[in-house]
């Protein structure tokens, strides 16, 4: 698997695979295959793909560590940029179909509807992550500050699920929300477990060193 992921074709294949849902939505809209409410279908689908790819980004590190797939890290930046791509499409669909690109109305709607405010906040937090996803940004910020900044993705995950939950609460339909919440909770929980395990291991090593260190 590592060999396949290191192949020169791995990134182009992943790029096309992530782009296919957007291409399908464009084709479906052009051929009138989005059902009775195409605007809602486009808005919902772009939101769904944002969440799916966000789960994919957060799954990279657990899969890389648990299954020793070091080459999987090569795809994390690509997946992260596609999360932003679909999130921007999601916002554009809402701004176009629901608000007609009326900026005053758009600003008022974001301010007065909590689920839209939460989703918009998640997109704002994603923006610096997308803008600093390049190697030059890592060198400019420094590795420690860059990593601290990119931990905002955890807040984005929580806000994205909250946005989805509030959106579905009006229809009392929480089945999909539960699926995404469970996946993201597992992925974030794995990181918390690793961090706590590392702290315990570090404390144990420190005690051992203290017992045997020369006085």
Residue 203: pLDDT band (50, 70, 90) is: low
Quick check: 205 pLDDT over 70?
no
Q: How far apart are CA 70 and CA 5, in angstroms?
A: 9
Q: Note every long-range contact of 8-13, with CB atoms under 8 Å and residues 24 or more positions apart, other chains counting.
A: 10/71, 10/74, 10/75, 11/74, 11/75, 11/78
Residues 6 or more apart whose CB falls under 8 angstroms from that of 215 comprise: none
Segment 120-146 shows an average pLDDT of 94
- Structural domain spans, the chain: 2-212
Residue 150: pLDDT band (50, 70, 90) is: very high
- pLDDT at site 172: 75
Quick check: 190 pLDDT over 70?
yes
The CA-CA-CA angle for residues 148, 132, 140, to 5°, reads 80
Residue 211: pLDDT band (50, 70, 90) is: very low
- pLDDT at site 2: 87
Residue 169: pLDDT band (50, 70, 90) is: confident
- pLDDT at site 149: 95
CA distance to 10, 14, 151, 171, 182, per residue, from 17 (Å) = 11, 5, 26, 32, 24
- pLDDT at site 60: 96
User: Phi-psi bin for 85: left (phi > 0), alpha (psi -120 to 50), beta?
Assistant: alpha
Q: How far apart are CA 197 and CA 193, in angstroms?
A: 6
> How deeply is 57 buried, as exposed, middle or buried, from its count of CB atoms within 10 A (0-12, 13-18, 19+)?
buried
The torsion angle over the Cα atoms of residues 46, 188, 137 and 143, rounded to 10 degrees, is: -170
3-state secondary structure of 100: coil
Quick check: 210 pLDDT over 50?
no
Q: Mind listing the pLDDT tens digit for each residue in 32-90?
A: 999 999 999 999 999 999 999 999 999 999 999 999 999 999 999 999 999 999 999 99
This prediction's pTM: 0.90
Number of neighbouring beta carbons within 10 Å of residue 170:
8
Segment 88-96 shows an average pLDDT of 97
Q: Where are the beta strands (DSSP E) in the chain?
A: none
Q: How far apart are CA 26 and CA 21, in angstroms?
A: 9
């Amino acid at each position: 698997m590592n060999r396949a992921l290191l192949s020169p074709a791995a990134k182009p294949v992943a790029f096309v695979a992530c782009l296919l849902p957007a291409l399908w939505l464009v084709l479906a809209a052009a051929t009138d295959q989005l059902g009775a409410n195409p605007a809602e279908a486009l808005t919902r689908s772009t939101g769904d793909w944002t969440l799916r790819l966000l789960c994919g980004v957060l799954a990279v590190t657990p899969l890389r560590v648990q299954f020793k797939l070091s080459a999987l890290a090569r795809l994390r930046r690509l997946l992260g940029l596609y999360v932003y791509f679909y999130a921007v499409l999601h916002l554009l669909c809402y701004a176009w179909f629901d608000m007609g690109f009326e900026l005053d109305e758009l600003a008022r709607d974001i301010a007065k509807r909590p689920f839209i405010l939460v989703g918009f906040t998640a997109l704002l937090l994603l923006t610096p992550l997308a803008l600093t996803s390049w190697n030059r940004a890592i060198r400019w910020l420094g590795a420690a500050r860059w990593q601290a900044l990119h931990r905002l993705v955890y807040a984005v995950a929580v806000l994205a699920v909250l946005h989805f939950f509030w959106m579905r609460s009006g229809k009392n339909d929480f089945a999909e929300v539960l699926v995404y919440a469970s996946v993201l909770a597992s992925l974030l929980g794995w990181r918390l477990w690793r961090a706590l395990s590392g702290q315990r291991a570090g404390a144990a090593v420190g005690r051992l060193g203290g017992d045997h260190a020369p006085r």
